[in-house]
Structure 1
Amino acid sequence: MFQIFSGFAEFERNRIREQIKEGLERAKAQSKKQGRPEAHTAILSVQVKKVMGLSQSKTAEALGLQITTVKKHWDT
């Protein structure tokens, strides 16, 4: 009984994998951009606060961002 259920599960997983692959190929053929979008507003906001003379921690507090996000965009 367990082997039958595991066979169905494997079949279903392969179907899902194929559907995902087809969807990604279709999106690529339509020239759709994939992945996470860039955070242009966060980069610009951090740079403005840096020019204003704020520290990294004060910049994070003022913008409501994590300190790691501020550090990542501090020297870009």
Structure 2
Amino acid sequence: MNIKLRYFASVRETLDISHEMATIPDGVVTVGAIRAHLASRGGIWADALGAEKTLRTAYNQAMCGPEQVVEAGAELAFFPPVTGG
């Protein structure tokens, strides 16, 4: 399946890209599984998206959790938690 991935704030800085179109393998259908798949690229991908990182996700511009099922053509965004002051 093809989806658009968007990266914000420190995730974008670590990866040095703000977005990409990605082909996700069959069977990788949830936000959590996609994140694990991307982190498995290793190197900076593991640094930015690894399971030990606290990140927020949005599916088609709505906040979601790792169990959210992703459909072809969707947009998935990763970003760190934001604090106010």
* TM-score, scaled relative to structure 1: 0.26
Greater relative contact order, per chain length (Cα 8 Å cut-off, separation 6+): 2
Which has a greater percent of helix? 1
Task: Give the number of the structure whose alpha-carbon radius of gyration is greater.
Answer: 1
* TM-score, scaled relative to structure 2: 0.24
